[in-house]
Amino acid sequence: MDLNLTPEEQRFRDELRAWLAANVPQPFAGGTNEEEKGEYFNFLRAWQRKVFDAGWAGISWPKEYGGRGAALIEQAILTEEWARAEAPPLINALGLSLIGPTIIAVGTPEQKSRFLPKILSCEEIWCQGFSEPNSGSDVASLATKATIDGDHFVVNGQKIWTSLAHVADWVLLLVRTDPNVPKHKGITALLVDMHSPGVTVRPLKQMNGDASFNEVFFDNVRVPMANVLGEINKGWSTAITTLMNERAHLGTGTYVAFKRNYDQLIAHTRQMKRNGRPVSKDPVIRQKLAQAFMELEIFRLTNTRALSKMQNQHVPGPENSILKIQWSEYNQRFQQIAMETLGPVAQLQGFDGGKWVYDFLRTRANTIEAGTSEIQRNIVAERVLGLPKSY
């Protein structure tokens, strides 16, 4: 075991740290109303462009597609530096952590050079069209169908819970192309232009007032054959590649936000008083804040260990399987602790711009999106521990 940075990793960190110090913009939290959200979106889009131009987006992606060709472990260093510098997140999260890596894994050379650089630069925003109204956890039961018409597929059906669809330019879509074979075998993955005729997006308002999830309808949408990702009727293996990336990488961005929220909460506890003393001195609150810090650390270390294993042994280790459960459940517990720590003021929309209310409610989705906690536990039980399949 050697957790010291190699000279090369050290150089990477120093260079990144210097760049962040010079380039991280003034904090801009945006807001929860539609107008402020649009402004925030443009701010984040401009930030990602800046990050891309400096060569820090998609650092482990091949250089020829705008990445840096860096080792995986450098992703962990980047995450920590990002959190330390309190830098804004990268908005094209699904493109960066799910769709880009899938295109790298199974895309044609044309698809790679066409799509990858624009994901990194945020020129094209991506969403992921897997879930359907009647197939949530059972992704392979999807019904959206595509039939061949000359050199095009024609897509009809509906997707749901599609994050970022309202702003997305492209979607990685799973469709049924052969209804006469077992459900996993007749699926194809398509790269679909969201601006195509026949695509309709309807935002779904969430309990926190936000509308970042959508319903997406496909009505005779024509998709060129060249946009098949992987092979026709073998889309399930493409989907699995994406889902594995989802479990492994979505949490990376979560750590940055989680750490920033933690630091902000601690700053509040030192200033707020209750029972004649700073909230930070309340022994019960201290226990809970320490527990949240411990969980944040466990997540960071498990993630770093997973990246190290993948880099050195080229296979995911068992730690990968629990990262989704960790970030989603730890984040929920942290938001609850934050509300308790701040006290009655935490519920007010006028406190910190309603940030704590918004985040508290938003984390309810964490254990549902990207595979529910129940599904994640099934996967651990069956694929890691070898227990018999329950469904």
Partner 1 sequence: MDFDLSKAQKLLQQSARDFFARECKPERVRELMASETAFDDKLWRDMADQGFTGLTIPEEYGGLGLSLVDLIAVTEEMGRSCLPGPFISTLWAAILIERAGNEGQRKQYLEPIAAGDLKATVALLEESGEWNPAAVMLAAIKDGKEYRLRGTKHYVSDAAIADVIIVVARENTDLVLLPVERGAAGIKITETPAIDATRKLYTVEFDNVAIPESNALALTTKTKEAVEAATDVATVALCAEMLGGMVWTLDTTVEYAKTRQQFGKPIGIYQAVQHQCADMFNFTESARSAIYYAAWAVAENDPSAKLAVSVAKSFCSDAAREVGNRGVQVHGGIGFTWEHNIQLYYKRAKSSEILFGDANYHREKIAEKVVDELEG
Q: Which residues are catalytic?
A: 246
Calpha distance 24→51 (Å, rounded): 10
313 burial level (CB within 10 Å; 0-12, 13-18, 19+): exposed
304 lies in the site for partner 1, by CB under 8 A: yes
Tell me if 382 contacts partner 1 by CB under 8 A.
Answer: yes
Interface with partner 1 includes 387 (CB under 8 A)?
Answer: yes
The span of 39-47, 134-142, 226-234, 307-315 binding partner 1 (CB under 8 A) equals 307-315
Please, is 174 exposed, middle or buried when counting C-beta atoms within 10 Å of its C-beta (0-12, 13-18, 19+)? Answer: buried
**Which parts of 362-381 interact with partner 1 (CB under 8 A)?**
374, 376-378, 380-381
345 or 387: CB nearest partner 1: 387
* Binding of residue 305 to partner 1 (CB under 8 A): yes
298 part of the interface to partner 1, by CB under 8 A: yes
Q: In the stretch 244-283, what mask flags binding to partner 1 with x, by CB under 8 A? A: ----------------------x--xx---------x--x
Q: Which is nearer to partner 1, 212 or 269 (CB)?
A: 269
Tokens 């077992």 sit at which residue?
Answer: 182
Do 191 and 153 form a contact (C-beta atoms < 8 A)?
A: no
**Nearest to 308, CA basis, from 69, 72, 70:** 72
Taking CB under 8 A as the rule, does residue 309 contact partner 1?
Answer: yes
- Which of 325, 351, 364, 368 forms a contact with partner 1 (CB under 8 A)? 325
389 is an interface residue for partner 1 by CB under 8 A: yes
User: Interacting stretch for partner 1, rule CB under 8 A, among 172-180, 195-203, 246-254, 306-314?
Assistant: 306-314
Q: With binding defined as CB under 8 A, does residue 4 bind partner 1? A: yes
Calpha distance 136→172 (Å, rounded): 17
Alpha-carbon distance of 368 to 105, in angstroms, equals 26
Burial per residue of 100-136, b for 16 or more beta-carbon CB atoms within 10 angstroms, e otherwise: bbbbbebbeeebbebbbbbbbbbebbbbbbbbbeebb
Among residues 105 and 266, whose Cβ is nearest to partner 1?
266
Work out which of 70, 319, 346, 360 binds partner 1, going by CB under 8 A.
319
Residue 36 DSSP symbol: H
CA atoms 168, 163, 204, 28: torsion sign: negative
Site string (54-93) toward partner 1, x via CB under 8 A: -------------------x--x-----------------
Going by their DSSP bridges, the two strands 170-176 and 126-129 should be labelled as: parallel
Determine if 137 is a binding residue for partner 1 (CB under 8 A). no
Cβ at position 268, least distance to partner 1 in Å: 11
Strands 228-229 and 273-274: unpaired
Interface with partner 1, residue 332, by CB under 8 A: no
Q: Is 15 in the site for partner 1 (CB under 8 A)?
A: no
HEC profile for 166-208? CCCCEEEEEEECCCCCCCCCCEEEEEEECCCCCEEEEEECCCC
Residues in the site for partner 1, rule: CB under 8 A?
Answer: 1-6, 9, 73, 76, 266, 269-270, 280, 283, 286-287, 289-291, 293-294, 297-298, 301-302, 304-305, 308-309, 312, 318-319, 321-322, 325-326, 374, 376-378, 380-382, 384-390
